[in-house]
C-alpha cells in the first residue's frame, strides 16, 4: 500500500450519510488504500463552499446543491459531479398536533393519502385567511433542497401556492424541533433523526414519508468537483468503489445494529442508536401515542438501483428549480443539470444494470400526482401545472 | 471615504464578536450591530436592513442567510455573497479564517475589501487567542495528572517528589512517550489495583 495523501470529506450529521460514515469507519476506504478524514459540518453552505474552493475533496451533499453549483445558481459556478448516490428519499413531513387536528377536521378521507392531506391543507389555509390569521409557516433545510421541493410539490397539488398562501423558511435541522415546540413553525420537512425526535418529545406528528409523495427522489450524493475527478481518477475510483461496498453493508438487515452503532458515535451523528435504527428499518413511530408506519422505501441507500445516479432525477430537480423561479428554463441548463449525475462512471467503477427492477416507476421518479414527467421534455411537464412561478 | 456602512455581525461568541466590533470601529465603521440570538434571524436582519452581514462559519444559521440571498431579489435590496463571486482567493481566505460575508449590492468594491480584510485578521487573531487558551488549559491538565502520579509513586515506593518525577521522566524517555502519558498510565494502573 502506498502512502497516500489525506482526503478530506465533509458531511452533515444525518442518517443518509450512512454509506459515507460506514465506508470510512468500517475501513472500506482504508482497504482501498485511501486515507480519509471525515469532517463534520454545521451547514450546507459550508459544505458547498469548502468543496467548491478545494478545502474538501468530496462531500455528502444535497443533490439539488450539486446541480445548483454546476449551474452557478445562488453562488459561484463550480461544476460538480456525482458517480454515487448516497440515498433516495429519507425525509418526512412532521406537523404540530394543532395542525394535525385541523387537517383531520378538514379531511374528506384518510390523511395518509397525500392528495387527501394536500386538499385538507388547502382548506385549512383558506379558513385561516378568511379569519384573518397569520399564514402557516413550514420549515425546510435549504433553498436548493429536496425538502423544499417535496413540500412545495405536495402543497401545490392540493391547490396551495407555497409562495403566496404559506411561509416557507429555512431552518437548520438542529433548530427544527425547538421551533416546532415554541410555535415558530407549524410543520417541517427534514431528514432523520429530527422527525423522530419531535415525535418522541410528543410535540409533532409525522404526516408523510416523502416516499409517499415521490417514490424515487435523489436526496444526498457523494459529490466531487468535476476537475478533481479528472485530475485524480485513481483516488476517485477507489472512493466510489469503497462506497459501493459500504452501501451493500448498510442495506444488509443483519448489519443494521452495527450500522446504527457506528452512526450514533460522538464524532458522527451523536444520537441514540435506537433512533437511527428506525430509519434504517424504515419503521418510524409517527405519533406520540405510539402508532408506527413502515415503508420499505423510507430511505433507500443502495437497494433498487438507488446508488446509481439517475439523470432523470436530476431533470426532475431542475424542473423544480424552474417551476419555483430559482432557474430560467433552458435546454443547456437541463443538459448541465443531467450531466452532474454520472451513471456511466458508476457503471465503469462498480458495474450495474441501467434497468430498474419492475417494482420501480417507469418514469424513474414516481410522483403521486401531476402531469406526466418526461426527463427529456420538462417544459411539457411544467406547462401542465397551474401553480408555478412565471 | 464614506464610512456610513451598516454592518451586522451574526455570532454567538461574545468574545469574538467584541474583537471584531473593535476592529471595525478602529477602521472607522461606527454602525455595527451584533445578533447573538438565532430565532427569527431573517426578521431581525430585515429590521436592521444592513449593507454587510458577517457570520461565523460554524453557525448553522448560515443556511438561513442563503434563503435571504434568494428571496431578497423580490422583497429587499439584492444581496451578493462574498466580495466578488469570481474572487476565489478572498472566499478561500475568509473560509479559512472562519467567517462568511454577505454584501448588499451597490457597495464599492474597495470598501468591501477593507471590511473583509479587517474581518479576516480579527478572526485569525481570535483563533490564535483560542489556541493559546486551549494550550494553557491542557498544560494545566497535564500538570495535575503529573502531580497525582507523583503522589502515587511517592506513596507506593516511599520516595521523595524529586525522585518520583525523575522516575516518570526516565520511563517517558525510554518508552518514547510524553511524561503526561506515563503519568496517566500510573493513575490508571493504581486505580485498577484499588
Domain stops at, among A189, A212, A235 = A212
Can you tell me the mean pLDDT for A114-138? 97
Contacts of B42 in chain A (CB under 8 A): 169
The verdict on residue A296 lying in a domain is no
Domain match, B68 and B11 both: yes
- Do residues B115 and B3 touch, judged by C-beta distance below 8 A? no
Q: Is the CB of B63 less than 8 angstroms away from the CB of A43? A: yes
* pLDDT tens readout for residues A118-127: 999 999 999 9
Q: Which domain holds residue A116?
A: 91-212
Domain match, B165 and B88 both: no
Q: What is the 3-state secondary structure (H, E, C) of A122-136?
A: HHHHHHHHHCCCCCC
Give the residue from chain A lying closest to B91, CA to CA: A53
Domain match, A170 and A64 both: no
Provide the pLDDT for residue A230: 97
Q: Is the CB of B85 less than 8 angstroms away from the CB of A141? A: no
Contacts of A389 in chain B (CB under 8 A): none
Share of chain A above pLDDT 90, in %: 93
Burial of B186 (0-12, 13-18, 19+ CB in 10 A): buried
Q: Which of A55, A143, A326 is opposite residue B95, by nearest beta carbon? A: A55
* pLDDT tens readout for residues B131-175: 888 888 888 999 999 999 999 999 999 999 999 999 999 999 999
- Do residues A178 and A158 touch, judged by C-beta distance below 8 A? no
Instruction: Please report the residues numbered 72 through 101 in chain A whose beta carbons come closer than 8 angstroms to any beta carbon of chain B.
Output: 74-76
The verdict on residue A348 lying in a domain is yes
Q: Is the CB of A184 less than 8 angstroms away from the CB of B40? A: yes
Domain match, B85 and B158 both: no
Quote ipTM for the complex.
0.89
Domain match, A246 and A329 both: yes
Report yes or no: A167 at the B interface, CB cutoff 8 Å.
no
Q: Which of A53, A54, A184 is opposite residue B39, by nearest beta carbon? A: A184
Bridge partners (DSSP) listed for residue B10: B35, B55
Domain match, B100 and B181 both: no
The chain-wide mean pLDDT, for chain A, equals: 95
Q: Is the CB of B57 less than 8 angstroms away from the CB of A141? A: no
The verdict on residue A144 lying in a domain is yes
Q: In angstroms, rounded to a whole number, what is the distance separating the alpha carbons of residues A341 and A321?
A: 16
Domain match, B175 and B102 both: no
Range in A36-50, A89-103, B63-77, B114-128 with the lowest mean pLDDT: B63-77
Domain match, B82 and B152 both: no
The verdict on residue B117 lying in a domain is no
Nearest chain A Cα distance for residue B73, angstroms: 11
The verdict on residue B124 lying in a domain is no
Instruction: Please report the residues numbered 48 through 77 in chain B whose beta carbons come closer than 8 angstroms to any beta carbon of chain A.
Output: 57-67, 69-70
Can you tell me the mean pLDDT for A76-101? 96
Which of B13, B66, B90 should we substitute to test contact with A (largest number of A Cβ atoms within 10 Å)?
Answer: B66
Report yes or no: B100 at the A interface, CB cutoff 8 Å.
yes
Report yes or no: A176 at the B interface, CB cutoff 8 Å.
no
Contacts of A53 in chain B (CB under 8 A): 88, 91-92, 95
Domain stops at, among B66, B89, B107 = B107
Predicted confidence band of residue B75 (pLDDT cuts 50, 70, 90): very low
Q: Which of A54, A143, A171 is opposite residue B70, by nearest beta carbon? A: A143
Provide the pLDDT for residue A379: 96
Asked if the model's pLDDT at residue B74 lies above 50, the reply is no
* pLDDT tens readout for residues A258-305: 999 999 999 999 989 999 999 999 999 999 999 999 999 999 999 999
The verdict on residue A285 lying in a domain is no
Asked if the model's pLDDT at residue B79 lies above 60, the reply is no
Can you tell me the mean pLDDT for A7-13? 97
* pLDDT tens readout for residues A341-351: 999 999 999 99
The verdict on residue A286 lying in a domain is no
The verdict on residue B148 lying in a domain is yes
- Do residues A136 and A125 touch, judged by C-beta distance below 8 A? yes
Range in A26-30, A36-40, A297-301, B33-37 with the lowest mean pLDDT: B33-37
CATH number at residue B18: 3.40.50.2300
Q: Is the CB of B64 less than 8 angstroms away from the CB of A50? A: no
Q: In angstroms, rounded to a whole number, what is the distance separating the alpha carbons of residues A376 and A373?
A: 9
CA triplet A168, A77, A61: central angle to 5 degrees?
Answer: 55
Q: Is the CB of A74 less than 8 angstroms away from the CB of B70? A: yes
Domain stops at, among A147, A178, A212 = A212
Q: Where are the beta strands (DSSP E) in chain A?
A: 6-11, 35-40, 58-62, 80-89, 91-95, 137-140, 167-170, 187-191, 205-209, 218-225, 283-285, 292-294, 299-300
Number of domains in chain A: 2
Report the candidate in A184, A13, A155, A162 with the shortest Cα–Cα distance to residue A93. Answer: A155
Which residue matches cell numbers 452503532? A261
Domain match, B70 and B161 both: no
Q: Where are the beta strands (DSSP E) in B38-98?
A: 52-56, 79-81
* pLDDT tens readout for residues A314-348: 999 999 999 999 999 999 999 999 999 999 999 99
Nearest chain A Cα distance for residue B165, angstroms: 35
Provide the pLDDT for residue B3: 67
Domain match, B79 and B17 both: yes
Contacts of residue A205, Cβ cutoff 8 Å, sequence gap at least 6 = A94, A95, A96, A97, A100, A199, A286, A287, A288
The verdict on residue B1 lying in a domain is no
CATH number at residue A72: 3.40.190.10
Domain match, B12 and B79 both: yes
Nearest chain A Cα distance for residue B164, angstroms: 37
Provide the pLDDT for residue A124: 98
The verdict on residue A282 lying in a domain is no
Which of A14, A39, A43 should we substitute to test contact with B (largest number of B Cβ atoms within 10 Å)?
Answer: A43
Report yes or no: B85 at the A interface, CB cutoff 8 Å.
yes
The verdict on residue B155 lying in a domain is yes
Contacts of A45 in chain B (CB under 8 A): 62-63, 65-66, 100
* pLDDT tens readout for residues A138-184: 999 999 999 999 999 999 999 999 999 999 999 988 889 999 999 99
The verdict on residue A342 lying in a domain is yes
Q: Which of B62, B63, B65 is opposite residue A141, by nearest beta carbon? A: B63
Domain match, A236 and A333 both: yes
Report yes or no: A352 at the B interface, CB cutoff 8 Å.
no
Contacts of B63 in chain A (CB under 8 A): 43-45, 141-142, 170, 172
Report yes or no: B4 at the A interface, CB cutoff 8 Å.
no
Contacts of B72 in chain A (CB under 8 A): none
Can you tell me the mean pLDDT for B42-70? 85
The verdict on residue B123 lying in a domain is no
Domain match, B103 and B145 both: no
Backbone angles phi and psi of A134, in degrees to 5: -60, 145
Domain match, B81 and B154 both: no
Domain match, A136 and A152 both: yes
Q: Which of B57, B62, B66 is opposite residue A143, by nearest beta carbon? A: B66
Nearest chain B Cα distance for residue A213, angstroms: 24
Domain match, A97 and A32 both: no
Nearest chain A Cα distance for residue B153, angstroms: 35
The verdict on residue A294 lying in a domain is no
Report yes or no: B78 at the A interface, CB cutoff 8 Å.
no
Domain match, A38 and A152 both: no
Domain match, A34 and A83 both: yes
Domain stops at, among A212, A228, A243 = A212
Give the residue from chain A lying closest to B86, CA to CA: A76
Q: In angstroms, rounded to a whole number, what is the distance separating the alpha carbons of residues A325 and B77?
A: 18
Contacts of residue A375, Cβ cutoff 8 Å, sequence gap at least 6 = A311, A312, A315, A316, A338, A363, A364
Domain match, A28 and A145 both: no
Q: In angstroms, rounded to a whole number, what is the distance separating the alpha carbons of residues B95 and B112?
A: 16
The verdict on residue B121 lying in a domain is no
Provide the pLDDT for residue A66: 98
Domain match, A64 and A167 both: no
Domain match, A123 and A60 both: no
Provide the pLDDT for residue A180: 96
- Do residues B187 and B194 touch, judged by C-beta distance below 8 A? no
Q: Is the CB of B81 less than 8 angstroms away from the CB of A75? A: yes
The model's pTM: 0.87
Q: How many CB pairs under 8 A join A and B?
A: 68
Provide the pLDDT for residue B106: 64
The verdict on residue B27 lying in a domain is yes
Domain match, A105 and A134 both: yes
Domain match, A157 and A116 both: yes
Domain match, B69 and B145 both: no
Number of domains in chain B: 2
Q: Which domain holds residue B155?
A: 135-192
CATH number at residue B186: 1.10.10.10
Amino acid at each position: 500500500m502506498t502512502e497516500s495523501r489525506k482526503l478530506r470529506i465533509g458531511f452533515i450529521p444525518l442518517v443518509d450519510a450512512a454509506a459515507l460514515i460506514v465506508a470510512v469507519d468500517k475501513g472500506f476506504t482504508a482497504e482501498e488504500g485511501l486515507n480519509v478524514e471525515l469532517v463534520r459540518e454545521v451547514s450546507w453552505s459550508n459544505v458547498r463552499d469548502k468543496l467548491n474552493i478545494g478545502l474538501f475533496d468530496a462531500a455528502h451533499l444535497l443533490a439539488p446543491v450539486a446541480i445548483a453549483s454546476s449551474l452557478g445558481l445562488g453562488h459561484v459556478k463550480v461544476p460538480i459531479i456525482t458517480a454515487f448516490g448516497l440515498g433516495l428519499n429519507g425525509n418526512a413531513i412532521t406537523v404540530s398536533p394543532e395542525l394535525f387536528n385541523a387537517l383531520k377536521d378538514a379531511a374528506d378521507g384518510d390523511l395518509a393519502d397525500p392528495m387527501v392531506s394536500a386538499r385538507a391543507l388547502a382548506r385549512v389555509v383558506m379558513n385561516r385567511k378568511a379569519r384573518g390569521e397569520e399564514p402557516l409557516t413550514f420549515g425546510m433545510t435549504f433553498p436548493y433542497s429536496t425538502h423544499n421541493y417535496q413540500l412545495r410539490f405536495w402543497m401545490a397539488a392540493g391547490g396551495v401556492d407555497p409562495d403566496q398562501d404559506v411561509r416557507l423558511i429555512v431552518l437548520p435541522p438542529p433548530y427544527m424541533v425547538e421551533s416546532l415546540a415554541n410555535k415558530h413553525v407549524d410543520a417541517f420537512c427534514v431528514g432523520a433523526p429530527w422527525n423522530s425526535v419531535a415525535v418522541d418529545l410528543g410535540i409533532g406528528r409525522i404526516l408523510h414519508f416523502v416516499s409517499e409523495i415521490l417514490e424515487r427522489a435523489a436526496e444526498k450524493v457523494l459529490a466531487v468537483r468535476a476537475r478533481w475527478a479528472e485530475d485524480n481518477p485513481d483516488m476517485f475510483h477507489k472512493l466510489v468503489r469503497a462506497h459501493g461496498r459500504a452501501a451493500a453493508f448498510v442495506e444488509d438487515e443483519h448489519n443494521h445494529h452495527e450500522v446504527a452503532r457506528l452512526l450514533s458515535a460522538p464524532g458522527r451523528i451523536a444520537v441514540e442508536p435506537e433512533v437511527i435504527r428506525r430509519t434504517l428499518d424504515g419503521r418510524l413511530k409517527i405519533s406520540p401515542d405510539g402508532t408506527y408506519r413502515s415503508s420499505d422505501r423510507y430511505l433507500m441507500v443502495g437497494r433498487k438501483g438507488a446508488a446509481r445516479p439517475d439523470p432523470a432525477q436530476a431533470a426532475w430537480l431542475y424542473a423544480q428549480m424552474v417551476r419555483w423561479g430559482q432557474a430560467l428554463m433552458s435546454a443547456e441548463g437541463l443538459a448541465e443539470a443531467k450531466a452532474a449525475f454520472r451513471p456511466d462512471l458508476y457503471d465503469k467503477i462498480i458495474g450495474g444494470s441501467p434497468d430498474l427492477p419492475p417494482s420501480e416507476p417507469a418514469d424513474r421518479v414516481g410522483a403521486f400526482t401531476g402531469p406526466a414527467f418526461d426527463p427529456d421534455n420538462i417544459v411539457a411537464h411544467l406547462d401542465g401545472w397551474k401553480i408555478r412561478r412565471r | 471615504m464614506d464610512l456610513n456602512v451598516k454592518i451586522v455581525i451574526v455570532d454567538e461568541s461574545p468574545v469574538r464578536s467584541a474583537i471584531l466590533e473593535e476592529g471595525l470601529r478602529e477602521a472607522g465603521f461606527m454602525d455595527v450591530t451584533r445578533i447573538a440570538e438565532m430565532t427569527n434571524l431573517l426578521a431581525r436582519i430585515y429590521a436592521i436592513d444592513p449593507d454587510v452581514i458577517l457570520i461565523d462559519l460554524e453557525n448553522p444559521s448560515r443556511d438561513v442567510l442563503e434563503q435571504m440571498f434568494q428571496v431578497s431579489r423580490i422583497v429587499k435590496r439584492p444581496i451578493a455573497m462574498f466580495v466578488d463571486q469570481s474572487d476565489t482567493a478572498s472566499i478561500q481566505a475568509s473560509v479559512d479564517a472562519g467567517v462568511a460575508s454577505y454584501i448588499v449590492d451597490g457597495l464599492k468594491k474597495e470598501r468591501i475589501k477593507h471590511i473583509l480584510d479587517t474581518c479576516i485578521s480579527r478572526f485569525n487573531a481570535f483563533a490564535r487567542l483560542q489556541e493559546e487558551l486551549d494550550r494553557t488549559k491542557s498544560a494545566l491538565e497535564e500538570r495535575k495528572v503529573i502531580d497525582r502520579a507523583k503522589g502515587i509513586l511517592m506513596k507506593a515506593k516511599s520516595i521523595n517528589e524529586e525522585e518520583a518525577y525523575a522516575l516518570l521522566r526516565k520511563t517517558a524517555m525510554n518508552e518514547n512517550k510524553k511524561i503526561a502519558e506515563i503519568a496517566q498510565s500510573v493513575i490508571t494502573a493504581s486505580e485498577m489495583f484499588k
